[in-house]
C-alpha cells in the first residue's frame, strides 16, 4: 500500500491486559457532566493520527460522550481490539484498512479491492468490515498518499504542475526515495507504468526524509518521494506534482467504528461532520502547528474545530 504504512508485526490476539500494556491513555469527561457513554478512541503514535484522535474526542464530548484516547502502536493491535470491543473507534486510512482486511479475510494473494475513489473504496471496506462488526463512516476529504515533489525552481523552469507534465519532458529522472521504490506498484510503478517515465537512478534516501527533500532541493535528484501531508515542503521550496491520472489509492482519513457505537446516530453525525470539512491542506497546517510551532495536538484540534463551527 502506501510507502509509509503503520509498522507491521505478527498478528496478535489481544487480551484486555495486552491492550492496556501497548500504549498510554487519557480520559476526558463530557462538558455537560452527563455522559452518553465512554468512547475509547484508538490512535497510532504519530502527529497526523494524534490530531485526528483529538478532533474525534472534542466532537464526541460536544455530543455528550466521555472519551478516552488510547495510544496503540499498529493496526495488528487495534483492529482486533475494535472487533472485541476494547476500542470503539479509530482514525485510519480507507485504502490501507480495506487491503488489511482483504488480506485478513481472503488471504495474502487476494485481488485488491481498494481504488483511487474514496466512495468506492469505503464501500469495499465496509463489505469486509461489516461481517466483523466494524463500520467505516464517511471518508474525509483529507488524504495521505504517496506524493512526488520537485523543486519550485525546476517546476517554474519547465512549467510543471502534474506528473504528466514531467513525463512529457521525456527526461531521464533521478529519484530520491526508498531503495525498493522501483519494485513497488505505488512508487516506481506509478512513474514507469502509468506515466511512462524513465527512472535512470534511485537515490536510497528513504520515504519523506530530510535527505530526500535536500536531494531534490539541491538538484541531486529531480524528483522525490514524500507524503501528501508533509508540512515542511515549503521550507525546502518543494512542490507536489499532481497525480493527474489518479493512480494512488484513496487513503482518505476515515473513522472506523466498533459494533458498540456503529449505529449511534450522535457519534456518526459528529465524526461525519469532520469528514465533510477536513481537507488535506487543513491537515497539513495543523501538522505544521504541532511539529514546527510545538503546539499541543489537543490545542490545535480544538482551535480548528472551533474555527469551522464544529464545536
- CATH 3.40.190.120 is the classification of domain 146-241: yes
Q: Alpha helices, DSSP H only, in the chain?
A: 16-20, 47-62, 75-83, 94-106, 118-129, 152-158, 163-168, 188-189, 210-217, 265-275, 280-291, 297-307
> pLDDT tens digits for 102-135?
999 999 999 999 999 999 999 999 999 999 999 9
> pLDDT tens digits for 154-213?
999 999 999 999 999 999 999 999 999 998 888 999 999 999 999 999 999 999 999 999
C-alpha pair distances (Å), 153 with each of 208, 218, 227, 298: 20, 10, 20, 37
Indicate the domain borders of the chain. 16-143+250-307, 146-241
C-alpha cell at 133: 462488526
Q: List the Cα angle 171/198/194 in 5-degree steps.
A: 115
Q: Which of 12-16, 92-96, 235-239 has the lowest mean pLDDT?
A: 12-16
Describe the chain by its helix, strand, coil percentages, rounded to 5: 40, 20, 40
How would residue 35 be classed by pLDDT, with cut points 50, 70 and 90?
confident
What's the predicted TM-score (pTM) here?
0.84
> pLDDT tens digits for 252-311?
999 999 999 999 999 999 999 999 999 999 999 999 999 999 999 999 999 999 999 999
pLDDT at 30: 62
pLDDT at 33: 58
**How is domain 16-143+250-307 classified at the CATH fold level?**
D-Maltodextrin-Binding Protein; domain 2 (3.40.190)
What count of other Cβ atoms lies within 10 Å of the Cβ of residue 36? 16
How much is the mean pLDDT over the chain? 91
Same fold, 16-143+250-307 and 146-241: yes
Check if the beta carbon of residue 189 is closer than 8 Å to that of residue 216. no
Whole-number percent of the chain with pLDDT over 90: 84
* Number of Cα atoms under 13 Å in the Cβ half of residue 1: 27
Amino acid at each position: 500500500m502506501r510507502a509509509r504504512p503503520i509498522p507491521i508485526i505478527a498478528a496478535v490476539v489481544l487480551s484486555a491486559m495486552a491492550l492496556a500494556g501497548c500504549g498510554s491513555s487519557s480520559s476526558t469527561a463530557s462538558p455537560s457532566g452527563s455522559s452518553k457513554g465512554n468512547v475509547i478512541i484508538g490512535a497510532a503514535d504519530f502527529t497526523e493520527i494524534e490530531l485526528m484522535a483529538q478532533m474525534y474526542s472534542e466532537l464526541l464530548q460536544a455530543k455528550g460522550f466521555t472519551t478516552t484516547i488510547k495510544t496503540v502502536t499498529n493496526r495488528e493491535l487495534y483492529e482486533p481490539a475494535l472487533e472485541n470491543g476494547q476500542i470503539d473507534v479509530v482514525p485510519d486510512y480507507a485504502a490501507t484498512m480495506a487491503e488489511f482486511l482483504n488480506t485478513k479475510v481472503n488471504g495474502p494473494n487476494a485481488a485488491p479491492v481498494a481504488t483511487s475513489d474514496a466512495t468506492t473504496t469505503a464501500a469495499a471496506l465496509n463489505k469486509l468490515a461489516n461481517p466483523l462488526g466494524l463500520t467505516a463512516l464517511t471518508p474525509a476529504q483529507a488524504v495521505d498518499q504517496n506524493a512526488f515533489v520537485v523543486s519550485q525552481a525546476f517546476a517554474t523552469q519547465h512549467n510543471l504542475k502534474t506528473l504528466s507534465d514531467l513525463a512529457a519532458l521525456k527526461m531521464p529522472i533521478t529519484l530520491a526515495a526508498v531503495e525498493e521504490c522501483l519494485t513497488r506498484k505505488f512508487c516506481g510503478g506509478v512513474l514507469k507504468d502509468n506515466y511512462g517515465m524513465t527512472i535512470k537512478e534511485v537515490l536510497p534516501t528513504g520515504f519523506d526524509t530530510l535527505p530526500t527533500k535536500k536531494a531534490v532541493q539541491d538538484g541531486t535528484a529531480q524528483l522525490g518521494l514524500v507524503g501528501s501531508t508533509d508540512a515542511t515542503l515549503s521550507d525546502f521550496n518543494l512542490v507536489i506534482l499532481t497525480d493527474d491520472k489518479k493512480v494512488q489509492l484513496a487513503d482518505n482519513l476515515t473513522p472506523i467504528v466498533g459494533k458498540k457505537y456503529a449505529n449511534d446516530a450522535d457519534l456518526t453525525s459528529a465524526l461525519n461532520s469532520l469528514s465533510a470539512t477536513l481537507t488535506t491542506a487543513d491537515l497539513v497546517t495543523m501538522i505544521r502547528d504541532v511539529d514546527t510551532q510545538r503546539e499541543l495536538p489537543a490545542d490545535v484540534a480544538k482551535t480548528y474545530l472551533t474555527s469551522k463551527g464544529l464545536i
